[in-house]
Amino acid sequence: MDYNWPKNLDELATEAGAWVAEATSDLFQTDDGWLVGYSDEFTLRLAERGWIGMTWPLSAGGDGRPEIERFVVTEQLLLGRAPMAGSFFPDRQIGPVLLAYGSEEQQKRFLPAMRRGVSKWCIGMSEPDAGSNVAGIATTAVKDGDRYIVNGQKVWTSGAKTSDFCYLICRTDLESPPHKGMSEFIVDMNSPGIEIRPIKDASGDSHFNEVYFNEVAVPVQNLVGELNNSFGQTMRQLEHERGGIDRLASNQRLYLDMRDYADTTDPLVRQQIARIESGYKIGRDMVLRNVLRQTPFAQYSAITKTWCTEFEQQVSEFVGNVAGAETMLWNRVSRNVVYSPAYTIMGGTTQILRNIIGERILGLPREPRPQS
């Protein structure tokens, strides 16, 4: 079996790597740049290069390029610590979800601006009492003529402060069982009644926020997909969140940089390096199988995220060990060490994903569900 890339993908990787180095040379770069690295300049540069929405169909204003090319480019952006939080959600999931469930009018209205890098988005899913259990959301949207009135609170909303729109999940039918009666909306973040309160994380960064909705009016045209039946849409969105290279390579450049400082004469250190380098290859093959649709994506994205984010935590542990007591003096290392618990929480916790793997892939008995 030949594991080599076709030549054109090697060339694309080289081109993307060189482009990222050049396009970020005058900008702030950070590990985990897809989520916490925000730069309007970089977003516009990426858009101009054609690498936002590159896989979207030509008919929707995309370039119709294969998913494998997005994989190659995204891996280079991650390794280059590109500040791409301004475009990552639209590129990874909001665009694809609108292509799958949005009306033609919504696709025409929202996709071109995402492609141009001038439309920033956040995801309003989690609430104080509904994180793992998305079906527990309490934010409501009640129809009032040609609009819905939204009330409630979201939390951990990444990028809310810099976003133009929120892709918001609301309860629209209070009588239905929890998994029914939910709908998804596009909400203009400049609407009256929205209050954003930043949350500072352990690393001192405040990319995520609490977002309060107080009598926020949303036009009926902004309902995405089916009224009262969005649970399947939400799950589809989570698959986009879980199966990609961003779950493996968020801190890979940090590993590569810190490896130079490791004592490679120490057999234990050598074992750790071997574990990490083979772990990256295994995780990368898992992601590739998803990208190439060689897996039932819905289920295997749970396996991929579990493996890959635990891998990212191993990297964090390794760089902390390499720096030793000096970890506190190295901002880049200490930032990653305190940030790393987030890897196995965001996008669905490892415990929840292990439940999915056990129940839906291995066919183990289901955990008892509360009666409703």
Ligand X SMILES: Cc1cc2nc3c(=O)[nH]c(=O)nc-3n(C[C@H](O)[C@H](O)[C@H](O)COP(=O)(O)OP(=O)(O)OC[C@H]3O[C@@H](n4cnc5c(N)ncnc54)[C@H](O)[C@@H]3O)c2cc1C
Sites of contact with ligand X (CB under 6 A):
122-126, 131-132, 156-158, 208, 342, 345-346, 348-349, 351-352, 355
Rounded to whole angstroms, how far apart are CA atoms 222 and 184? 9
Rounded to whole angstroms, how far apart are CA atoms 188 and 177? 29
Strands 223-224 and 194-198, bridge-based pairing: unpaired
Helix (H, G, I), strand (E, B) or coil at 82: coil
- The two structure tokens encoding residue 79: 């390794």
Decide whether 16 or 85 has the Cβ nearer to ligand X: 85
Closest contact distance (angstroms) between CB of 313 and ligand X is 13
CA atoms within 13 A on the CB side of 207: 22
Decide whether 124 or 225 has the Cβ nearer to ligand X: 124
Closest contact distance (angstroms) between CB of 65 and ligand X is 26
Decide whether 225 or 348 has the Cβ nearer to ligand X: 348
Closest contact distance (angstroms) between CB of 212 and ligand X is 14
Backbone φ, ψ for residue 154 (5° rounding): -110, 160
Decide whether 63 or 210 has the Cβ nearer to ligand X: 210
**Tokens 């007591």 correspond to what residue?**
325
- The residue at minimum Cβ distance from ligand X is 131
For the chain, what is the radius of gyration of the CA atoms?
A: 21
Rounded to whole angstroms, how far apart are CA atoms 308 and 318? 15
Outline where DSSP puts E strands in the chain.
Answer: 121-124, 140-144, 147-154, 165-171, 182-188, 194-198, 209-219, 223-224
- Counting every residue written for the chain, the total comes to 372
- The two structure tokens encoding residue 45: 């540069």
Decide whether 203 or 290 has the Cβ nearer to ligand X: 203
Decide whether 153 or 272 has the Cβ nearer to ligand X: 153
Closest contact distance (angstroms) between CB of 35 and ligand X is 6
**Which amino acid, residue 60?**
A
Decide whether 50 or 136 has the Cβ nearer to ligand X: 136
Closest contact distance (angstroms) between CB of 147 and ligand X is 23
Closest contact distance (angstroms) between CB of 259 and ligand X is 25
**Which amino acid, residue 54?**
M
Closest contact distance (angstroms) between CB of 272 and ligand X is 25
